[in-house]
């Protein structure tokens, strides 16, 4: 707001200065012409009354020009004040909007920093989870390999399987095992196992 007012004030001052310089220049030209007319005859007899009347007419015209210029300056001053009043509210609204935008920009920057930190933490957690899953997968693969080794050792159709202790004793005793006949335990009657007589 203040820079705009100062710029408009400087512009108005410049216009006033230009108009004042123009009026001074016009007056100087008029005086030079009058002096040239007065001294044109090189000392000959001159009608002083006519010269004075012409000078008065020139002064009146210059005064008229000055009045016109002053009126234009007044009009410019009025336009400047009206323009300043009309632009005062939009300029204040623009300044308030710029302040709000700056505050919103700062808030967004803060949110961006927070989101970057959260994303970094999430990436760390994801990396830790990936490492844990990799370890679990390696453990599962190791367990699967151990299970395959155990299955291959306990497979009966595997020719490379080592015989167990029971199998070795059975292989060493070629005679069939003789089992005793069952005994009847009814009351009053006891059956002994039958002897094999010819």
pLDDT of residue 166: 45
Q: Dump pLDDT digits (tens) for 129-143.
A: 999 999 999 999 988
CA neighbor of 74 nearest in space, from 26, 25, 18, 15: 15
Whether residue 53 contacts residue 103, with contact meaning beta carbons closer than 8 Å, is answered with: no
Contacts of 190 (CB under 8 A, 6+ apart): 183, 184
Backbone angles phi, psi at 185, to 5 degrees: -105, 35
Q: Which one has a higher pLDDT value, 34 or 188?
A: 34
**Highest mean pLDDT, choosing among 3-12, 114-123, 186-195:** 114-123
Measured distance CA(75)–CA(119) in Å, rounded: 64
Q: Dump pLDDT digits (tens) for 27-82.
A: 888 887 777 776 665 454 456 667 777 888 888 888 889 889 988 989 998 988 88
Whether residue 38 contacts residue 46, with contact meaning beta carbons closer than 8 Å, is answered with: yes
Measured distance CA(132)–CA(126) in Å, rounded: 10
Whether residue 34 contacts residue 58, with contact meaning beta carbons closer than 8 Å, is answered with: yes
DSSP 160: T
pLDDT of residue 126: 93
Q: Where are the domains of the chain?
A: 2-112
Q: Which one has a higher pLDDT value, 1 or 144?
A: 144
Per-residue pLDDT, averaged over 186-196, amounts to 47
Q: Which one has a higher pLDDT value, 72 or 152?
A: 72
């Amino acid at each position: 707001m203040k820079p705009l007012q100062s710029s408009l004030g400087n512009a108005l001052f410049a216009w006033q200065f230009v108009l004042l310089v123009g009026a001074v220049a016009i007056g100087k030209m008029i005086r030079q012409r009058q002096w040239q007319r007065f001294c044109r005859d090189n000392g000959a007899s001159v009608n002083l009354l006519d010269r004075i009347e012409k000078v008065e007419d020139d002064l009146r015209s210059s005064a008229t020009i000055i009045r016109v210029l002053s009126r234009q300056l007044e009009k410019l001053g009025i336009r400047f004040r009206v323009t300043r009043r009309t632009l005062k509210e939009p300029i204040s609204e623009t300044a308030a909007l710029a302040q709000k935008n700056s505050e919103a920009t700062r808030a967004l920057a803060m949110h961006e920093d927070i989101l970057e930190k959260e994303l970094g933490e999430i990436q760390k957690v994801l990396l830790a989870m990936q490492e844990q899953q990799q370890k679990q997968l390696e453990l599962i693969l190791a367990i699967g390999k151990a299970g395959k080794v155990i299955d291959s050792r306990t497979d009966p159709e595997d020719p490379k399987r080592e015989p167990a202790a029971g199998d070795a004793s059975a292989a060493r005793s070629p005679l069939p095992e003789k089992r005793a006949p069952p005994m009847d335990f009814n009351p009053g009657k006891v059956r002994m196992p039958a002897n094999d007589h010819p």
